Structure 1
């Protein structure tokens, strides 16, 4: 964890220097992060404070601070300003007059009221007022005053703290389809907990109308074992996993489903039916996969392609992979996505095929053969996502440091990048197959129900775009 260094002048007042009536003040503004951090540190997860929806129905109709957030700031003034370093809090009495809400600026003032020579204690009046001058907290604090003088410049190092609320990011993603009609989705062989729980959660959230395809007794046994409610969900019997894939694809071809979702079968089984020339779901485009990722340490959404379908794509196949990703970027609200074509280096090297492909793809974009996005490459991963790295290497590019689509050289590199971001950077991940007649939710068998549900959101957005464009 990186450290934030700050040089501060630390000075205190000893017991002998404190005069009755002396005071000090500090002003802080309550931010949403303060409420979350205080809840984490104290374990106080009172829903009237940390749950915005619950708060809206409560007494104050909005999120309020923990009462002791203001109380802790009184200790801050006493310990760092007046009397300052060496102060020990002995007793404190507080009255909370009114709530502190997000955005309130609170001024904390402590004033010396009484001194006791025999034990070197001092009693302070403590008042916290908001930006309107109204009292929010009042009370008193008794402290053991410093006996030794402190007066020096000191470098204070505090850890840099980043709040990563994956659930909040997940909830925000679900809001993308709020109010949209659920999409009929054929789910092939959902015969374990996560592969069944995902579509059930998506159904309960109003994202899809799942059609569960597989051995009915097996699906119901999983639901009963893990207490999953299948009420209102259609089940179409299929004998085994391969049959499940075939039936699920046929439901799409007949128009019963507008999206396809992988269950607990192997990817090859499902995709074998999808790419079948006679009864599959091919289009004129090359089929490709995109990981849609919300990475908490990156300032933009990231689309990584192709990390699941095309093992070692040719130049022509990469062009389609990019076109598919650009179309998806448009659907999720990125009007002109910045496309970084990745390699190990950022210069053209005839011995590294990915650098030659990158150069050719960028020229194709210049000639209008790839439209809708801004391409640059070859770019190494650091140059694609870090403007500092790009500047250090002298790269001048609108894409470098701001990439929204990462086009990887091959499946192996792409899969490693995506899984590293998911498991080491806590990225919220969705997986979708494009270039087919309908979107296909394609996730790993190890993926959680939340990842599967997030992928359903992306599939639903694509399906609604297809409806609007008349391509369903």
Structure 2
């Protein structure tokens, strides 16, 4: 067994997020609705991103609790607008309402549960649904890998079907191209093996997704699959298996078979490979920043940066309008 991964020869220092944050600083700050930022971690993330010029926040939650937390932690929120609501569920509903009123172009999760926020976003009446399936992308800075790596979906869709996977891929491609990562990203559709077999349904769906791309049902990306993880990200592993494609060994977007696989993959990269992971929800009317209490300060700012760049790209296409 090699002492280092085959990609280590291509690896660069982990500065991918630095370039991402610098790009976000170069565009106008995004008007951001921050839902229930009632602990030190979420408030500090807002303050850092605002100080960097990435976001212009409006805080939505119990005003007394927000100010008390800021005071106890020595945080200055005097320049921020606060919309006072009584509790986290009300904050999520109010945040969505403010988006409809064109008072924000992205949402940011504070200290409430993800489920609370997503219930308001996905509500059939008054939510932020579009004709695209809502999905999540981890934008990962893996020190041992030359590319910024997108992992999707590891947080929203538990067992996505073929149509859902089509939207999940398209959401990730749109994020990649519209936030300045490049054009025609290489998308690896992951399974346990690289051959199509009836006994593993994800391999059949991978083959169907590739054909959907051939027919224009998925656009602006280069797809290959099924691919096992090793031959998706390692050139030598792909060569040994005799896989020749633009994607094999050089993937930029990884579509996982289901949420469990994606969650384990992302956490393995975070804890074993020491990757930073920025999280963003796509497919709603506005991008949504999902952060975790375990995120580093750099990862939190990177989450805001990628969402702000995406909001800026959408701003160029058409301004947010009230509904």
Partner residue of 2:267? 419
Which is worse superposed, 349-358 or 444-453? 444-453
What pairs up with 1:137-148 in 2 under 5 angstroms?
none
SS class of match (2:166): helix
1:279 aligns with 2:122: no
Q: Distance in 2 between matches of 1:221 and 1:164?
A: 43
Pairwise CA distance, 1:163 = 9.7
Aligned length: 315
Pairwise CA distance, 1:203 = 0.4
1:291 aligns with 2:291: no
Q: Is the 8 A contact 1:198 1:450 kept in 2?
A: no
Partner residue of 2:243? 395
Q: Is the 8 A contact 2:12 2:145 kept in 1?
A: no
1:188 aligns with 2:38: no
Equivalent of 2:299 in 436, 443, 451: 451
Q: Distance in 2 between matches of 1:203 and 1:357?
A: 42
Closer/same/farther in 2, CA of residues 412 and 175 from structure 1, 3 Å limit? same
Larger RCO (alpha carbons 8 Å, 6+ apart): 2
Q: Is the 8 A contact 1:169 1:428 kept in 2?
A: no
Q: Distance in 2 between matches of 1:207 and 1:163?
A: 28
SS class of match (1:452): helix
What pairs up with 1:402-441 in 2 under 5 angstroms?
402-441=250-289
Partner residue of 2:208? 360
SS class of match (1:260): strand
Closer/same/farther in 2, CA of residues 366 and 295 from structure 1, 3 Å limit? same
- Could you give the per-residue CA deviations for residues 220-244 of structure 1, whole angstroms, max 9, x where no partner exists? 1211122111131111111111011
Q: Distance in 1 between matches of 2:121 and 2:3?
A: 47
User: Which protein is richer in helix relative to its size?
Assistant: 2
Q: Is the 8 A contact 1:182 1:209 kept in 2?
A: yes
Pairwise CA distance, 1:267 = 0.9
Q: Is the 8 A contact 1:194 1:447 kept in 2?
A: no
User: Which protein is richer in strand relative to its size?
Assistant: 1
Runs of 5+ unmatched residues, structure 2: none
Q: Distance in 2 between matches of 1:451 and 1:209?
A: 18
TM-score, normalised on structure 1?
Answer: 0.64
Q: Is the 8 A contact 2:179 2:313 kept in 1?
A: no
Partner residue of 1:344? 192
Runs of 5+ unmatched residues, structure 1: 4-159
Partner residue of 2:229? 381
Q: Is the 8 A contact 2:11 2:144 kept in 1?
A: no
- Could you give the per-residue CA deviations for residues 90-147 of structure 1, whole angstroms, max 9, x where no partner exists? xxxxxxxxxxxxxxxxxxxxxxxxxxxxxxxxxxxxxxxxxxxxxxxxxxxxxxxxxx
Partner residue of 1:85? none
Q: Distance in 2 between matches of 1:369 and 1:162?
A: 33
TM-score, normalised on structure 2?
Answer: 0.93
Equivalent of 1:198 in 24, 39, 45: 45
- Could you give the per-residue CA deviations for residues 67-89 of structure 1, whole angstroms, max 9, x where no partner exists? xxxxxxxxxxxxxxxxxxxxxxx
Of the two, which has the highest radius of gyration? 1
